[in-house]
A and B are shown apart, each in its own frame.
Chain A
Amino acid sequence: MSGNKGSYYLPAPSHWPVVGSLALLLLTGGFVMKINHVNMGGSTMIAGAIVLIYMLFGWFGTVVRESESGMYNKQVDKSFRMAMTWFIFSEVLFFTAFFGALFYARVISIPGLGSGDTMSQLWPHFVASWPTHVAGEDKIVSGPGSTQMFTPMHAWGIPAINTLILLTSGATLTWAHWGLLKNNRSQLIIGLIATVALAFSFIFLQAFEYHHAYTELGLTLGAGIYGATFFMLTGFHGFHVMLGTTMLVVILFRSMKGHFKPESHFGFEGAAWYWHFVDVVWLLLFVFVYWL
């Protein structure tokens, strides 16, 4: 039972989940109010965010304490590992929906709009291409029914540097893991600091790129299906990078406090798996969103 060493740990009743539910109610309710211009929407959201942060500290804090006091046996550890794996699997499928939208637009909806009756009756000047063109001119428009012009993002500038940064961060993280396995704590901490630094530089460059897109390229969320898929894919990826960075920062602080042992460190590995997942998504983004 919960107290016995060696048997599966079953936690006592906990109020953290329902606090999380309250946070989500406030966050989503507040967001709905805000985008529909209802009073108090913003402050409801902030209240929700505060409750959410309180819940995350409380819930994860409890788990970390339980873990460090040795209440989890091998079987519990295995449960955590499996759960994290399937959670990442669900995240993969979330990105699949947006990649699906990108491929659908490029393979089906754009060629459909630029051919046959749809083109001749509705938008005779539209050319089926990616990014979306107008016939006769070398202009890129947001869509067949739009006159908004934009310049697509070039792959071999910041995006290529960001690819290098993320790949390097994967390597430094693995180096930190080797340090943990050899019980070389300074290698662990230096590796993690390097990883977090690379993560922050990725986020900074991405923010810079967005600013550039909005102010100079005319590439916005409203720039047709190109802009929509571009910002939703890279935006959700960026959001996941921020989540992963938060995880790595927590892992760094825990490492500095002396947490994790060479034979048991699921918290580290869970964060590392997540980071590698974010890395792989980026590679697909680089190829299909920026490059091809």
Chain B
Amino acid sequence: MEHGHDHHPSGIMRWVTTTNHKDIGSLYLWFSLCMFFFAGTLALGIRLELFQPGMQFMQPQTFNQLTTLHGLIMVFGAIMPAFVGFANWQIPLMIGAPDMALPRLNNWSFWLLPVAATLLVTSFFVPGGPIAGGWTLYPPLYMQNGISGDMTIFAVHILGMSSILGSINIIVTIMNMRAPGMTYMKMPLFVWTWFITAYLLIAVMPVLAGAVTMMLTDRHFDTHFFDASGGGDPVMFQHIFWFFGHPEVYIMILPAFGIVSSIIPTFARKPLFGYTSMVYATASIAILSMVVWAHHMYTVGMPVTAQLYFMYATMLIAVPTGVKVFNWLATMWQGAMTFETPMLFSIGFVALFTLGGFTGIVLAMVPVDVQLQDSYYVVAHFHYVLVSGSLFTLFAGAYYWLPKWTGHMYDEKLGKLHFWLSMIGFNLTFFPQHFLGLAGMPRRIPDYALQFADFNRMSSIGAFIFGTTQLIFVYVVIKCIRGGAPAGDKPWEGADTLEWTVPSPAPYHTFETPPVVK
């Protein structure tokens, strides 16, 4: 019998066949880092073209391909897999489980991603190049894509499979593998946020699969789902897409809330303020996120009553989100605070995510949105919630748990440098875009009128600062893996979750005998 899961194959086969949650977590994290740099390079191509007015470096088609693939790969290849990587590493450690509930399925959830990435990345080399209609894949424009249109559809299917299988695993692990005494309301908030996120994923990823399947049959099998001459409607695609797409933005931010809720109490040396309200706020956000999708499409034509409903429902989300922001502030209030890199990124997150949330409320208002739809204001808004929201917490989480993963402390000086340069580069890139949008500059257009030149130049300079700064992160991570001051079991004195009770680096197998939680 093959009892020897302790004797795993060496070399590349270890990573290909692994059923260990820590190996799989690392695979997810490295994969997402690669995709982050790939999609980031595409973004630098966009900013290069927009550095000054006029057409400089590329055809409009190429520009559109860059914006499309940048969005698709950042969302599905970088941000989402990175959070799943954190879930794989941390959830078993935080609930005192020996591994994920379904380890072989866990391996498959990861190894589906390179297949999808292959389909997306090789679409650069097929006739016609990659898709160019924007990451939202709207018909009828999407129908004009060549062979890459089909490759992208199947990439989305496989990414969806990966997400669904991964989410099932996370839910089952949390429901069935908690250590004795670890009741639901004792779970660390990171576990809670992922629990709710996994439900969202299972609920909406199949709907996206349905939408792209209809696109496939419209493209090749003569159906008329999105064609008015056959009784269909291109707007229907937008409804189905955003029924997935709006929960998707919460899928990318709820685990971020969880990471921040782990880090802020540690460095404020106080327990999280309002734990119970945090849990309920997370659940409320998830539920509300399912019923607000049409605020992405106020301008496509819908009854005014529908617009009013979607406006008020959207604004309602600000309430539980506000609860969270106030809880983080209250946690810091009168705390014995220190400002190591994870804390810096977390505070940066609270400030900038809140700003992104406010512009979200601005955009939720129908009359305002009708003016700002598809302008750079929207681009600025979602980069404030996705970059300084999701991405900043990914950095925060990486710095926070690197000592546990590697057994070494990271380079604090370089970490802080990474934070401050990211902060400056990010704001320089995206803050001016609010003004550009308010002044009427449309998104996804490779050229612009002269009056937009100054802000665009600032934005491009900021983007290159932000992009190159991320190389510091890679250097810090590699340096930390190769050596550094020993971390000890619990490098952060304010931390109190279960992962800090095991040695650093965390042994290959942890909690083989479940800990008892009081």
Q: Which residues of A contact B (CB under 8 A)?
A: 1-3, 7-8, 10-18, 20-21, 24-25, 28-29, 31-32, 35-36, 38, 59, 69, 75, 78-79, 82-83, 86-87, 89-91, 93-98, 100-101, 104-105, 108-110, 112-113, 118, 132, 142-146, 220-222, 224-229, 231-232
B174-218 at interface with A (beta carbon < 8 Å): 175-177, 202-207, 209-211, 213-214, 217
**Which residues of chain A are near B206, meaning CB under 8 Å?**
90-91, 93-94, 96-97
B103 touches A10 (CB 8 A): yes
From the candidates A2, A82, A83, A109, name the one contacting B228 in the complex (CB within 8 A).
Answer: A109
User: Cα distance A12–B147 when bound, in Å?
Assistant: 40
User: Cα distance A23–B207 when bound, in Å?
Assistant: 24
**Which residues of chain B are near A142, meaning CB under 8 Å?**
224, 230-231
User: Cα distance A7–B509 when bound, in Å?
Assistant: 14
**Which residues of chain B are near A118, meaning CB under 8 Å?**
228
Interface size of B in residues (CB-CB distance below 8 Å): 75
Q: Answer whether residue B16 sits at the interface, using C-beta atoms and an 8 A cutoff.
A: yes
24 cross-chain CB contacts under 8 A: A1-B3, A1-B5, A2-B3, A11-B5, A12-B4, A12-B5, A17-B105, A29-B119, A32-B119, A32-B154, A93-B207, A105-B232, A105-B236, A108-B233, A109-B233, A112-B233, A118-B228, A143-B229, A143-B232, A144-B231, A146-B229, A224-B224, A225-B232, A232-B213
User: Cα distance A36–B512 when bound, in Å?
Assistant: 52
B150 touches A36 (CB 8 A): yes
User: Cα distance A226–B4 when bound, in Å?
Assistant: 56
The CB with the most chain A CB atoms within 10 A, among B103, B157, B232, is that of: B232
A11 in contact with B229 given A3-B3, A221-B222, A224-B224 (CB within 8 Å): no
Q: Answer whether residue B480 sits at the interface, using C-beta atoms and an 8 A cutoff.
A: no
**Which residues of chain A are near B169, meaning CB under 8 Å?**
83
A24 touches B158 (CB 8 A): yes
From the candidates B14, B19, B104, B177, name the one contacting A8 in the complex (CB within 8 A).
Answer: B177
**Which residues of chain A are near B125, meaning CB under 8 Å?**
none
Q: Which A residue's beta carbon lies closest to that of B17?
A: A13
A13 in contact with B5 given A82-B172, A93-B206, A101-B214 (CB within 8 Å): yes
User: Cα distance A16–B102 when bound, in Å?
Assistant: 14
From the candidates A1, A12, A35, A100, name the one contacting B19 in the complex (CB within 8 A).
Answer: A12
**Which residues of chain B are near A95, meaning CB under 8 Å?**
210
- Return the CB mask of B224-247 against A: 1 if under 8 Å, else 0: 110111111101100110010000
Distance of A288 from chain B, by nearest CB (Å)? 16
Q: How many A-B residue pairs have CB under 8 A?
A: 227
Given A11-B104, A15-B16, A18-B16, 9 more A-B residue pairs with CB atoms under 8 Å apart are A8-B177, A18-B107, A24-B158, A29-B119, A79-B101, A97-B210, A109-B228, A227-B223, A227-B224
From the candidates B103, B108, B217, name the one contacting A232 in the complex (CB within 8 A).
Answer: B217
B221 touches A28 (CB 8 A): no
The CB with the most chain B CB atoms within 10 A, among A28, A113, A226, is that of: A28
Q: Answer whether residue B98 sits at the interface, using C-beta atoms and an 8 A cutoff.
A: yes
A24 touches B217 (CB 8 A): no
Q: Which A residue's beta carbon lies closest to that of B244?
A: A97
- Return the CB mask of B420-461 against A: 1 if under 8 Å, else 0: 000000000000000000000000000000000000000000
Q: Answer whether residue B268 sits at the interface, using C-beta atoms and an 8 A cutoff.
A: no
From the candidates B2, B164, B203, B231, name the one contacting A143 in the complex (CB within 8 A).
Answer: B231
Q: Which A residue's beta carbon lies closest to that of B171?
A: A86
A-contacting 9-mer, from B109-117, B256-264, B318-326, B371-379 = B109-117
B104 touches A16 (CB 8 A): yes
B118 touches A25 (CB 8 A): yes
Q: Which B residue's beta carbon lies closest to that of A36?
A: B147
Q: Which A residue's beta carbon lies closest to that of B148?
A: A32
Q: Answer whether residue B248 sits at the interface, using C-beta atoms and an 8 A cutoff.
A: no
User: Cα distance A222–B3 when bound, in Å?
Assistant: 55
User: Cα distance A97–B233 when bound, in Å?
Assistant: 15
Distance of A4 from chain B, by nearest CB (Å)? 9
B231 touches A105 (CB 8 A): yes
From the candidates B4, B108, B154, name the one contacting A21 in the complex (CB within 8 A).
Answer: B108
User: Cα distance A116–B16 when bound, in Å?
Assistant: 59
Q: Answer whether residue B220 sits at the interface, using C-beta atoms and an 8 A cutoff.
A: yes
Q: Which B residue's beta carbon lies closest to that of A8?
A: B98
From the candidates B14, B158, B202, name the one contacting A89 in the complex (CB within 8 A).
Answer: B202
B350-399 at interface with A (beta carbon < 8 Å): none
- 6 smallest CB-CB distances across A and B, nearest first, come from A97-B210, A145-B229, A17-B108, A225-B231, A143-B230, A228-B223
A10 in contact with B114 given A18-B16, A32-B151, A82-B176 (CB within 8 Å): no
Distance of B276 from chain A, by nearest CB (Å)? 25
**Which residues of chain A are near B4, meaning CB under 8 Å?**
12
